[in-house]
Every structure is written in C-alpha cells, then in structure tokens.
C-alpha cells in the first residue's frame, strides 16, 4: 500500500528535482522550504564569514556560506546517496576533511555549523536541526539570534551529546573550540545593525 503524502519520506533524489530559484531542506525525510533571508541576516552572515575566512586563509579547513548543500547520515551508517533523507543548507559550514567535499557540496558532517535564526526558522534551528547535527557528529554548533544579539554555542561531548549552551552577547568575543586561536568579535557581528544610513540631501 503506497504511503500517503503526509507519510512519504523525501530523499536527496527529490531534492535534486526542486527548482533552482527555491531553497529547500529535507530533514528526516520531511521537506522544508526556506524563506528568503533578511538584510540583517545577510549582514551577520557576511561578517562572520569574513572573520572566519581571514583566519582560514592558507589552512586546510574551508568555510562555505549558504547556499551550500550538506548531505548528512548518522555516524557509521551507510546509505545510497539518492536515499539520503537529511539534506540541509546551513548558513555557515566549516569543513576540515577535504574528502567530504565534492561537486555537489558536502557529503558528511561539517566540523562546525552556524545557523542565523529568523522567526520562521526558530523551531527548526533550535530543535530539529539541533538534534540532527548532534546525531550526525557536528563538533560545534552556533545559533545566532539577530533580534536578541545573542549567540548560543554547543560543543559535542565525548558521549555524543551537545553540551549545555554557552551564551554570548554583542559585547563578547567567542573562542572557536575547533581551532587553537580563532576568536570571533561579536561587537563587529552585531554592531553593524546599529549603523543607520543617512542619504545626502
């Protein structure tokens, strides 16, 4: 008996059929259409990417801002690529294992992921993606809240679970755990929101 539309589990094969001008993710076989990012979202994305990219210049690890496709499977579990049921487009992915990179994006868990939440993505980023990233072995996960000017940092512990969050405000700097000396200045990340544009008269 065929599955109903509600019961059907979508895969990477379905993801490949979606229009290029639409942004979709599939998590545990459930498709989610993503809203277009706001200007503030993009400003924060650019500043974080800039600070990280400057640090990674000449290093083995690479940064990939969205849109960038990441196919995820649970650690130690093999499945046919077309049957993968977790395809996400994190705002920022940092990947140190170059064997995971192919012409389609990343096949496997990035070392670090940053998501910049919006009102429409809060549940997905805080719960659904949180559980997925934990399960698939992402070492460090940041949730950035533009409205609150707040960053929550989760580190993967030896038991395979994320730690309790470390919380940072716009006045703080954050030491990135997967690198020995990368520090992100949040005053630059969030301060850009306070610059008002005054056109010349």
Tell me the per-residue pLDDT of 9-48, one tens digit each, with 9 for 90 and over: 999 999 999 998 899 999 999 999 999 999 999 999 999 9
Helices (H), 74-159: 122-123, 129-136
Give me the sheet containing 166-169, strands edge to edge: 62-65, 92-95, 112-116, 140-145, 150-155, 166-169
pLDDT at residue 1 tops 80: no
User: Would the pTM count as exceeding 0.85?
Assistant: yes
pLDDT of residue 197: 41
Residue found by looking up tokens 């969205």 in the block: 66
pLDDT at residue 154 tops 50: yes
- Show me where the domains of the chain are located: 12-192
CATH class of the structural domain 12-192: alpha beta
Stretch 121-150: mean pLDDT: 95
Angle at 163 between CA 158 and CA 166, to 5 degrees: 140
Give DSSP secondary structure letters for 7-31.
T----HHHHTTS-TTS-EEEETTEE
pLDDT at residue 146 tops 80: yes
Q: For the chain, give the number of residues.
A: 201
pLDDT at residue 158 tops 60: yes
pLDDT of residue 150: 97
Stretch 133-146: mean pLDDT: 97
pLDDT at residue 169 tops 70: yes
């Amino acid at each position: 008996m065929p599955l109903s539309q509600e019961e059907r589990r979508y895969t990477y094969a379905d993801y490949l059929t979606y229009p290029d001008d639409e942004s979709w993710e599939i998590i545990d076989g459930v498709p989610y259409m993503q809203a277009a990012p706001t200007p503030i979202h993009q400003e924060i994305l650019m500043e974080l990417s800039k600070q990280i990219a400057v640090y990674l210049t000449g290093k083995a690890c690479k940064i990939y801002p969205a849109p960038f496709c990441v196919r995820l499977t649970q650690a130690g579990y093999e499945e046919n690529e077309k049957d993968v049921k977790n395809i996400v487009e994190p705002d920022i992915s940092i990947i140190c294992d170059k064997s995971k990179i192919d012409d389609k994006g990343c096949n496997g868990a990035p070392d670090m992921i940053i998501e910049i939440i919006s009102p429409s993505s809060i549940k997905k980023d805080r719960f659904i993606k949180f559980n997925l990233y934990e399960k698939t072995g992402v070492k460090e996960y940041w949730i950035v809240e533009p409205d609150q000017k707040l960053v929550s940092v989760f580190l993967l512990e030896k038991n395979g679970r994320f730690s309790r969050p470390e919380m940072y405000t716009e006045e703080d700097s954050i030491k990135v755990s997967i690198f020995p000396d990368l520090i992100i200045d949040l005053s630059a990340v969030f301060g850009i929101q306070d610059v008002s544009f005054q056109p010349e008269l």
